[in-house]
Structure 1
């Protein structure tokens, strides 16, 4: 079951694996590699190395099932994506305020319910940031 146990932002390579695990569920390293190889071009050893690093970072959990290592995302998709989107909007685009809900409407990564949850999360986070800014006299980014 995904948890929110890490504050470590995933690299682009790690994000590719997380996106696959969110969609497919728990899988062995061989299964992960065979499904993403066409997109990434990675060898099996590269996939294993990334999964080991992600386990250390708390991004995935490793379980032994009948002698086979199986990996599962430990970070919740909507929460992580919300954090990455907020960081990108604030630090790269220098944006204040919530992003329009239509931003996620055509995303293949999110179901309708997840897109709605992400929109609520971003709106809530934006309101919290403004409240903190009001209390400290800052702009509330």
Structure 2
């Protein structure tokens, strides 16, 4: 049975490239490689291969109208984050959002972050 391409979850390496595309918008392999090289050492051909795999998985779209192909994220950052979060909640927290939140809020949560969470909860209650 073939796997639905919409169910593919990005790997860590793929997320690194998606983060660049979400920040910069559509870009060539060279532009993506240059941006990635600022934070980690990765070869140009590695970036190209990952983008090709991501295209096969429908994680990126590719404009082939120019000599240098231009890649763009197929889904928004918010959409991808929501999908990954829903998957994590189901797999690690038995479908319980409250268990996830309780685990995420621990002693290392700053007072400022707690206040931000309170404001968000107040807005959600309205």
TM-score (norm: length of structure 2): 0.68
- 1:9 paired residue number: 9
Residue aligning to 1:79? 79
Q: CA–CA distance in 1 between the matches of 2:14 and 2:31?
A: 16
Q: Give the TM-score normalised by the residue count of structure 1.
A: 0.61
Contact 1:6 1:75 in 2 (8 A): no
Residue 107 of structure 1 is matched in structure 2 by none
SS in 2 for 1:40: coil
1:52 and 2:52 are equivalent in the alignment: yes
Q: Is the 8 A contact 1:60 1:71 kept in 2?
A: yes
Task: Give the Cα separation in 2 of the matches to 1:10 and 1:66.
Answer: 26
Unpaired stretches in structure 1, ≥5 consecutive residues: 104-115, 121-141
For residues 12-23 of structure 1, the aligned pairs below 5 Å read 12-23=12-23
Unaligned runs of 5+ in 2: 105-119
Name the counterpart of 1:97.
97
The 2-side partners of 1:12 and 1:59 are apart by 13
CA distance in structure 1 between the partners assigned to 2:67 and 2:31 by the alignment? 15
Cα deviation, residue 73, structure 1: 0.6
Equivalent pairs counted in the alignment come to: 99
Q: Provide the residue aligned with 2:69 in structure 1.
A: 69
CA distance in structure 2 between the partners assigned to 1:8 and 1:95 by the alignment: 19
